[in-house]
């Protein structure tokens, strides 16, 4: 059987999710709160704790949180080594 030129492949329709204005506003609010509290926390920490200790605590916290987060994201051992 021969195929005719009038046959065409099926059309696939992809629908994109359009975020609502509420979700967009909540996302911006979350960024605003997180960044705002970060700067406020750094300001108070630098006033009360020596800057080197503050940096050490921040880097230690990041070092403790990164491996569990990385294993959740299924990052390989070679990525951690590099």
5-48 pLDDT per residue, tens = 567 777 777 777 677 888 889 999 999 998 889 888 888 887 89
Same-domain status, 34 and 59: no
The answer to whether 51 and 43 are in contact (CB under 8 A) is no
Residue-wise pLDDT for 48-81, tens only, equals 988 888 889 889 999 998 877 766 666 666 666 6
- Tokens 């990525």 appear where? 79
Domain count across the chain = 2
Residues in the chain: 82
Same-domain status, 57 and 41: no
Residue 8 lies in a domain: no
The answer to whether 67 and 79 are in contact (CB under 8 A) is no
Range of the domain at 67: 50-82
- Residues 6 or more apart from 45 whose CB is under 8 A from it? 54
CA 53 to chain centroid: 27
Same-domain status, 54 and 81: yes
């Amino acid at each position: 059987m021969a195929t005719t030129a009038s046959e065409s492949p099926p059309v696939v329709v992809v629908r994109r999710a359009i975020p609502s204005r509420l979700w967009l506003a909540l996302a911006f609010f979350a960024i605003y709160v997180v960044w705002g509290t970060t700067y406020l926390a750094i300001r108070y920490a630098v006033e009360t704790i020596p800057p080197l200790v503050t940096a050490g605590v921040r880097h230690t916290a990041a070092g403790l949180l990164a491996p569990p987060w990385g294993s959740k994201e299924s990052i390989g051992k070679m990525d951690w080594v590099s």
